[in-house]
Structure 1
């Protein structure tokens, strides 16, 4: 009996110490904690589409202790604390209130996607520190509740279509702030925090003013109008008679009105005749001697209303000019390509713009041309040459770009290679390459419906802007493929050299990747790909990628490097890593080429390594 009691006691103690806690822990694990957080994430999953398989990946509980199996999710103590979905081509709009139940969220990033619609509600997210929605298509205003986030440190909203005014942010924790390239307006709030940030945080917004931008215009005070004294009522009489002088005045005015109308009409007619004479002289003056300023060339059409048409503008900060101003501008040829000629035009206002006259588009309807220009004109990115305006007529089609002053990448790489030339060092080349990749990744993200978003990527279409000792690059002449009527005219574009175009196969985004690989090899080797430009005394290669493959396969790796960078021992490893990327980009089979987003990620890793080694 005593032994049985001892056994029962032992069993009870064992159950209490081991079995019961294990059961409780098992129940603890099986219970789906904080289901409201999962429900909030399900709203995102069901509202957007992306290259990630969120429906396949976001299953089960989002958090297990401090880890998560869900893509883009970071957890702490069973709570979602970070939601990062960057550069995964998210399309669609975000549910307005889905974040309200993720109350421990500290880091939120949806940058480099194609999300449209308004920003989500961020109220009551007291732990939120970083918010990144840059490089999307978001519209509407910046939510006022953002100024009530007590721990906000970083806010990036640049490169969207946000409008309205900037809320008065004044959180002492805020150290990073960028709302550039939107449609914001009004006065920048004069708070201690917002005054910390430079002009680049606010640039390229319509009608935005105040420190650190231009001062807001001060409206003159309205003139004081003395209040009229109460009229003195004349003695009432049964009949009121108008004074004789008023009757005479009425008769004179009635007689003078027709005479004044005729006089104004005559003056307007006279002025129109005077304006017409110099215009006719300009239209016929096409012969300017070489080396002098020439007028912008234009068709000999006598359709005056068409030439006087007001031009549409995409940036309200740019001084407005009309077509006649453009045609009167002194011009200089910047370059002649297969699709037209580009001029620099010096307007009478002092502004300088670049104007491209495009060919092979005469069969294009006005509606098609305008739709494509409106799509491209609204795109804003630091590595794209911005379209300022455009003009359509049956005889001529013009595209007005911002003027980038320091020439093209082709000129920088291949011209003036004689003694005394300042070599283009490796750091400068890597910076230029990274800028090109950023611009291309943005185009591919912003134009997912285009078969080949750029379609004309080559070194002469990469413009250079020097800022002291650093180089920045911008892409131009992009997205012309939808404007060309036939495959025959499309072969004038850079993608005409891609293997799939030559073989008559279907074109995709990967044709752009091929062109990027060729530019990458051109920068690394210093050699001119065949038919890129009529440069003199430059070594041309029939197929640059095949030549590089042959040299690398024979273990002559450094033989591919441009002599200007071969002498420097620094960066050789990074150069060869970039060569590997370039050869993958120029693979004969498009499906084996990486996406531009992946190419950019790898180049940024190489750049970080290069900076650390310095």
Structure 2
């Protein structure tokens, strides 16, 4: 009778078969079980996640021998069957468990762990130090709490650490600043306190600790990253030139010890009255005076220090009063100093039938609003606006979205229209559809305000559209925090993104140390933007029931706005980067036509194709053009069979120069050309959902072939 193989025997034979098939045996079933258990704990005990991703003990993680490997892992650059990277990003509430470093570090070859954009709880475990090969750790955008473990500093190979957008508290471990290879550190949007360790900022390429409760001096050369990397924080943060100079440490008087110290007064009785020091009318009296001199100097020092502190406090009080006195309608003079507050304010002016102009250059960036918020001649206060034209705050709960930081969500919770008008404003740029401003509201949160130029847009339709967009949340679409809608004025408020736009990053004008984007980064941006656009095109199709209860919901106009909503102005300058350098689409629906116009949706597809061409060629489109010139140039090059000449040289030189990568570049170029091709007789352009599917298929193939690390 044939002997029945037991499960361990079968597993061993399968493992041997894998070895003969070309899969290395360094990957053991024990390691696989640990990684599967690690994923199970991330998922809060749900085994379905592992099954959906194909993680199984009998399946080699890296594949081989005709067997598909695990999803969301990478085994490159080595080809020994061991997992180098685990990337479980943007799964939302599906990954709501905890991080178990003991299970993860059973695979000692792990170099990259990315858990960005989930709902993980707990903290970073102290035994993370066991992952000795770890070089990239991303846990941003979760619900992690507690303190950062000092054992992070034992990861001697660590290059990138991103803990932003969580609820961490306590101090930043001081030894993190001593890691020799650390080049990127993101700890913004937490509740960290204490002082900032003395990082060598000359070594770092990216650094931000903003939106915490940190105090004390900033590291040397902090101006390399600018004010936005350190502010807002606690009031005591200091260090020129970004903040007030730190006060000198209080001087200490030298202690009198040793043979020069005066002898204690005599306790015995003498012929005179009083103590021995008082009775000494010779050398003893001189010693008494000598001892009193240092004490007097010390007390005077304390008095002077107190006077300095008092003067500083009075100066700040007077300065704040002066700022508060600059009410609505008063034009502020440009600031001579440096800082985040800029040199102008969003102010209101009385609107009449004729244009109101002013020669005052200091108010060049003021935003005139409708007559419903007109200012009295004295400029002392604004008129009370009717409820129908007040600021509509979309995030009154104060909770942060996958993109919005806690600071911005908290600022939006109590945001008032008057806050925008009184706050200093800095012009960010002007475009066909209006101007953008950076505004720092009371409390220190930085917001971006888009002033919509097209005043002919129907007020009720605009209101419904903004409310619907505010409810449709996606990690790649920047949500509006609030909006203001009147007959001749429309403002939309977002959180300010300090890492700039794709336009600046692509074309070399961004004020940071970011190097040229490589192929993997550009493909990641393309996939994220495509996902966000496809989500918005389909979610806002009318099935979400997103009709405002506070707006008219009957009639043809209301029904028309229940259709899909196009972006209307997708371009590289409207693709912004979050604190974690993830792309997100800004100004969604601000300028799109009402009623789900099919032509506008096709226009989004065309604009996305132009965006792909910019990513692949590195060439900018004209400021007011639609990308037609770039598309014609690409078409002419392809027609001459010089396809390789299309691609940006920095793209090819950045690690994407092998044959397989170039093939995927060509495939992405074909997707772009399908989006922009409007020639007679050409097939209809794909939908954004179809485009997103094609781009993600290219990205998944790229992920299977290459490491996610640069």
Q: TM-score, normalised by structure 1?
A: 0.50
- Tell me which of the two structures has the higher relative contact order, counting C-alpha pairs closer than 8 angstroms and 6 or more residues apart: 2
Normalised by the length of structure 2, the TM-score is 0.43
Bigger strand share: 1
| Greater Cα radius of gyration, structure 1 or 2 | 1
